[in-house]
Chain A
Amino acid sequence: MLSYIGKRILSLIPVLFVVSCVVFLVVYLIPGGPATALLGMEATPEQIEALNTELGFNRPFFVQYADWFAGIFRGDWGESYFLHQSVLDAIAEYFKPTLSLAILAQLIALALSVPLGIIAAYRRGTVLDVAAVSVSLLGAALPGFLLSMFLMLFFGVYHQWFPVAGYASLTEGLGEHLKYLFVPALSLGIVQAAYITRMTRSSLLETLYKNYIRTARAKGLKEAKVVLRYALKNAAPAILTAVGQSFGSLITGTIVTETLFNIPGIGMLTIGSINRRDVFVIQGVVLFVTLLYVLVNLLVDIMYGFVDPRLQPGRK
């Protein structure tokens, strides 16, 4: 098991290297530099040139890349020109809201999707099933921003139960923190739930018709035990994959939801830094997001082994 994890972590290095190359190249090639963004619409070319020289953007490509790449290993991911802090500090700060939002959205998604998926599978072909499948299809088809706006209007404008946008950090109290995160998390959760519901339903359906389930029923076991312990457990790896993917996409920042609800998370940092041409932040964020995504996948792979020991790596 440990050697498996070790191998997987080692295999991350080429992935990250390639990503770092590509990102650096793309950022290098897009027109407009931080100097243009920093100095505003009517800056003279001389001023822009001077600032570029000062910031080191007039050096050859490979020199800039080598400089940046070496820095990564020293823990120096560069400085943000706009945020006046180091890239790592910025990522750490902007990651907190994203993490909170992702966890809350994932919990909502699970609370909605797993019961719904179980009901749909168990009552296959009934009105309940059709309803659950239709709702989840609707959830998958509805664009996230539209759903967000509906929820914002409903909870924020008509009923005024929640603020329409904004963010309060955990230091202001958990209640306040959740008050601001609930509506965006609900919007993300519903979209993610749609996918997980369908995965739960289909994988549970597969197991529900297996021989061992029939045997379990024949033994006279209670239905709940049959479904929740025997069937669901065997359907778990597929559900886990769906959950892993959904968590991976949530935790790497949701640009639209964060922008709409004004949550200063990784998504907002990404789009903001691209607009501001804050190059080290763009590079840092993309690298960080890649790292997160592969780590979440690794974690899911490892968890398979716990859910279903037959899938443990190295097991014959």
Chain B
Amino acid sequence: MKKKMWSRIVAASMCSALLLAGCGSSGSGSGETKDSKEAGGESSAASELHVALAANPPALDPPSVNSNIVGGIGIHVYESLFAMNQDYEPTPVLAESYEVSEDGMVYTIKLREGVKFHNGEEMTADDVVASMNRWLEVSAKANTLIGGSVFDKVDDYTVSLTVNEASSDIIMILASPIQFAAIYPVEVVDKATPEGIDEYIGTGPYKVGEWKQDQYVKLERNEDYQPSEGAASGLAGDKTGVSDVIYFDVVTDTSTRIAGVKNGQYDVAEEIPLDNYEELSQEAGVKVTAERGGTLNLFLNTTEGIMANENMRQAILAALNCEDILMASYGNEELYELNAGWCVPTDAQWGTDAGSEYYNQKDADKAKKLMKEAGYNNEPLVLVTTEDYAEMYNATLVVQEQLKQEGFNAEVETYDFSTFMEHRADPKQFSMYITSNSYNMLPIQLSVLDSGWAGLDAPEVTEGIKAIRQAASDEEAAKAWEDLQTFLYEYGAATVLGHYTGVTAMNEGVEGVNYLRFNTYWGASVSK
């Protein structure tokens, strides 16, 4: 009898399992769509590329948001008048040519004719004028550098830019990939609200097929794409898409991105934590690339309390051991570089280590002496940080430890990212903080020079920027930047801690991914 009882229990469990399975099979009429897509992928070079991103883009409006995710997707959809080529030279994209008036105040820019937006309409001067004037208004970077400049229509295919001040870098600024000057149709600009645009129409090699919040942005190849002259180079040239469709999948969890690239669900996974670099580079079927991405920086309060004292700030700089900080943040010597410069070290014009005598000093005696001279009386030094960015957080803890060792009363305050940003913007609420900042194309775009960033408000900065911009030659501009970088160190306003790399993992079958400030995927395809 007992046996019977057991068989019934087993039968009951089987029934529930069957019920589950039954749920699974009923009504799966349209279930074939995705499977057939996947099966198609195996036959030849897949025309779908899946890129796993670490965050959901807040908007698909590059001019108004300073975000790598927005820019990285945006470069596939929108184009600007000029863009950087592989050698960091501004190159015409939607522009054909330009002329500068003798006094350097008016730029007359000729547009390419016959370029079509994704909605089929032709791009004309009206679209360019509307987009560029909005860019000048909403892009903080553009506003700081050439605010007050105006774009006007000359004829249907010519626009003029009147600047406030003559400068040698105007075209460089127009070509800058961060918060880049995307050209939208005039109707889209007219309908834009302070929260951004709500139609995503550009002239780029891909058009936005679908944007599912928190899931993916699907880009479809723009079959009517008209490339500018020349082969693809950086963000310029012929960017005709290779894959039919690119999915930017939002995968916030790191371990999920890694698992996904291992099993082939994602072809590319961006922002791989540096801890996983070694493991993934040994994994069969996966390749890893590391591109120099920017600098990890320590910003000091220069206006409030004891921090207003230059000796105090110099004492802090003297106490730092950057090697330890970078090792704690990045965990592998291949993934960071000790260098005092704020710009790309290999950049012929802006790469300089001026002021390096103040960098990575590891000088306890000097720190103690300067601290005394500053009259430091154990006032608490507040390091604000956020755990949302592991490298910033780890570096902060090491800096705290190094300062404590030299007798500073260093405290760490940790917040979520938004709250951190709030504290960071108010010099009354921090003594110092660390952020990792992506490279800028021009030193004058550096956040450290912006008084809203860490409250640095010295006349030398304004004069230094002026000297760079009004320099008669490239050499003179480079010299002016060297002087300004030296001043930043001498004044103890901030220090670079080191240069970091960004790691991307991809399947071995992925070809054609390039990098210029962002990964570019128009030339990319995957064979499975």
Which residues of A are in contact with B by a Cβ distance under 8 Å? 30-32, 36-45, 47, 50-51, 54-55, 81-84, 94, 104, 107-108, 110-111, 114-115, 118-119, 149, 152-153, 156-157, 160, 163-168, 171-178, 222-224, 227-228, 259-262, 264, 268-269, 272, 275-277
Contact = CB atoms under 8 A, between A and B. Distances in A.
B358 interface: no
A55 B193 CA distance: 11
A43 B66 contact: yes
B256 A262 contact: yes
B141 A42 contact: yes
B450 interface: yes
Contacts of A269: 214
Given A104-B20, A167-B215, 13 more contacts: A31-B422, A31-B423, A39-B65, A40-B67, A42-B66, A107-B19, A164-B256, A165-B259, A172-B30, A175-B25, A223-B5, A262-B253, A275-B418
A38 B58 contact: yes
A175 B2 contact: no
Contacts of B12: 115, 228
11 contacts: A32-B422, A41-B66, A44-B143, A111-B20, A157-B262, A165-B256, A171-B30, A173-B32, A174-B23, A175-B35, A269-B214
Interface of B: 1-2, 4-5, 8-9, 12-13, 16-17, 19-20, 23-35, 56, 58-59, 64-67, 70, 138, 140-141, 143, 194-196, 198, 212-215, 249-253, 255-256, 259-260, 262-265, 415-419, 421-423, 425, 435, 447, 450, 452-453
B198 A31 contact: no
B5 A277 contact: no
A163 to B, nearest CB: 5
A264 B67 contact: no
B31 A175 contact: yes
B280 to A, nearest CB: 13
Contacts of B5: 222-224, 227
Contacts of A163: 263, 265
A174 B58 contact: no
Contacts of B66: 39-43
A42 B253 contact: no
A264 B418 CA distance: 22
A173 B33 contact: yes
A164 B264 CA distance: 9
B194 A50 contact: yes
A188 to B, nearest CB: 14
A36 B265 contact: no
Decide if the interface of chain A is mainly helix, strand, loop or mixed.
helix
Contacts of B253: 165, 259-260, 262
A223 B214 contact: no
A262 B250 contact: yes
Given A45-B425, A224-B8, A38 B65 contact: yes
Given A107-B16, A173-B34, A36 B422 contact: yes
Contacts of A176: 28, 31, 33-35
A38 B419 contact: no
B58 A276 contact: yes
Nearest to A43: B140
A115 B13 contact: yes
Contact of A119 (B9, B32, B453): B9
Contacts of A51: 194-195
B147 to A, nearest CB: 11
B58 A160 contact: no
B47 to A, nearest CB: 19
A223 B2 contact: yes
A107 B32 CA distance: 25
A273 to B, nearest CB: 10
Contacts of A165: 251, 253, 256, 259-260, 265
B447 A37 contact: no
Contacts of A173: 28-34
Contact of A264 (B26, B215, B416, B453): B215
Contacts of A152: 255-256, 259
Contacts of B17: 111
A42 B140 contact: yes
A156 B64 contact: no
B438 to A, nearest CB: 10
A108 B23 CA distance: 12
A222 B1 contact: yes
Contacts of B251: 165, 262
Q: Which of B419, B421, B450 has the most CB of A within 10 A?
A: B421
A176 B35 CA distance: 8
Given A51-B194, A175-B28, A264 B214 contact: yes
A264 B213 contact: yes
Contacts of A36: 418, 421-422
Contacts of B24: 174-175, 178
Contacts of A42: 66, 140-141, 447, 450, 453
A-B residue pairs, 4 tightest by C-beta: A173-B31, A32-B418, A175-B31, A40-B66
Contacts of B28: 173-176
Contacts of A153: 259
B31 A174 contact: yes
Given A42-B66, A157-B263, A262-B253, A82 B58 contact: yes
A95 to B, nearest CB: 13
A157 B259 contact: yes
A283 to B, nearest CB: 16
